[in-house]
Amino acid sequence: MKTKFLCFFLTALLVIASSQFIAASARQDKGASSKASQVETAKSGSVDKRASSQASIGDKSTAARADDTKVQKPKDDKITIGADIVNVTISVTDPYGRFVTGLGKDHFEVFDDKVKQQIAHFTDDDAPVSLGIVYDVSGSMKDRINRSIRALRRFIDTSHNDDDFFLIGFNDRAKLVQDFTTSGDNIVSHLMFVNPRGSTALYDAAYIAVEKVQQGRHSKKALLIISDGQDNNSRYTYKELRNRVKEADVQIYAIGITDPANDSLAGFGRSVLEEITRMTGGRAFFPSAYNEPELVEICTRIALELRHQYSVGFYPTDLQSDARWHKVQVKVNPPRGLGRLSLSYRDGYQSFKK
């Protein structure tokens, strides 16, 4: 009996011990598994953070490079556009003297010292002009000034609404009578009560006007000279005026009010006005000193011409040339039926090379 009881007791004790051992093992396995999971999670989080950080750094770096490109590109564009483009303003007329409009970029060819250039800019817009009026109030204009004032009024009335004007009057010396204004009345009112007298400082007046027009707010610039062309009192020489005109991108128009029968220097005055206008792409007109309708018609024509011009721009292909002066030639290949066309434009430009 005792022996059976002892066996039963030992068996029960063994079962209890086994159960406790199994439970302890299970708890250890679970703890180890939990730690491993935490370690993996931590590792994963660390890797994700590093990846996220690297991605963020990469994004910032890419964004920075993109911003650098955006900043640098406009700088490059400005340098390219503003540095060495040559703009040529062209007037085109048919055999009857009428303005020819509607031509396109492909109808023009431009040559720089006989080398064909690629046209980079082209427009035929009715663009406003900054314009200086250079008005002779010397004694030689005494009997002609009233007619010329009425013609000048027609010129202003026919001009673009956004044109701005200034007025330089000259006799013994040149003087800025009216600074830039969009009011034609301001210009004409200064001339209404002028008493023409004194000598003629034409070269001084034209030289000062070339300097002054550079201050205009429009990129297109022009001068209108109304005079008999007879200079006899300037400090600047004609050669100095010619050189300054060649440097400037300014169209010059002139109305020579001369009387060949009575003006002893009419021929020379005419040649002066013809040369300085031709080299800039402008024109010189010589109406009768006493024919007011003709004078009015010429003023109207000049105003209309300034509004019906083509602008062509090119980048010279030979910037390293040693030539100080480049000869420009423009050819037009019009559609059939227009006949032989005439072109007026400035005949050259100074080298960009310093």
In this structure, of 114-118, 177-181, 315-319, 350-354, the range with the lowest mean pLDDT score is 350-354
Please indicate, yes or no, whether residues 97 and 222 belong to a single structural domain of this protein.
Answer: no
Percent of the chain scoring above 90 in pLDDT: 57
Domain membership of residue 71 (yes or no) is yes
In this structure, of 34-38, 256-260, 349-353, the range with the lowest mean pLDDT score is 34-38
Please indicate, yes or no, whether residues 141 and 78 belong to a single structural domain of this protein.
Answer: no
Query: What's the pTM?
Result: 0.75
Please indicate, yes or no, whether residues 73 and 92 belong to a single structural domain of this protein.
Answer: no
Tokens of 204: 């001084």
Please indicate, yes or no, whether residues 221 and 340 belong to a single structural domain of this protein.
Answer: no
Q: Residue 334 belongs to what domain range?
A: 85-124+317-350
Amino acid residing at 293: P
Residue 222 has pLDDT above 90, yes or no: yes
In this structure, of 261-265, 332-336, 346-350, the range with the lowest mean pLDDT score is 261-265
Give me the chain's average pLDDT, please: 80
Residue 130 has pLDDT above 90, yes or no: yes
pLDDT of residue 279: 93
Question: Domain containing 218 — which CATH number?
Answer: 3.40.50.410
Please indicate, yes or no, whether residues 89 and 77 belong to a single structural domain of this protein.
Answer: no
Please indicate, yes or no, whether residues 279 and 134 belong to a single structural domain of this protein.
Answer: yes
CB atoms under 10 Å from CB of 197, counted, come to: 13
Identify whether the C-beta of residue 227 lies closer than 8 Å to the C-beta of residue 273. yes
Buried b (16+ CB within 10 A) or exposed e, 284-322: bbbbebeebeebbebbebbbebbbebbbbbbbbeeeeee
Residue 320 half-sphere exposure toward CB, CA atoms < 13 A: 0
Identify whether the C-beta of residue 120 lies closer than 8 Å to the C-beta of residue 86. no
- Report, as an integer, the average pLDDT of 7-32: 48
Domain membership of residue 18 (yes or no) is no
Please indicate, yes or no, whether residues 90 and 119 belong to a single structural domain of this protein.
Answer: yes
The total of structural domains in the chain comes to 3
Please indicate, yes or no, whether residues 219 and 340 belong to a single structural domain of this protein.
Answer: no
Residue 31 pLDDT class (50, 70, 90 cuts): very low
Domain membership of residue 147 (yes or no) is yes
Rg from Cα positions in the chain: 42
Please indicate, yes or no, whether residues 110 and 153 belong to a single structural domain of this protein.
Answer: no
Q: Given CA atoms 297, 300, 305, 308 in this order, what sign does their dihedral have?
A: negative
- Report, as an integer, the average pLDDT of 311-324: 86
pLDDT of residue 7: 47
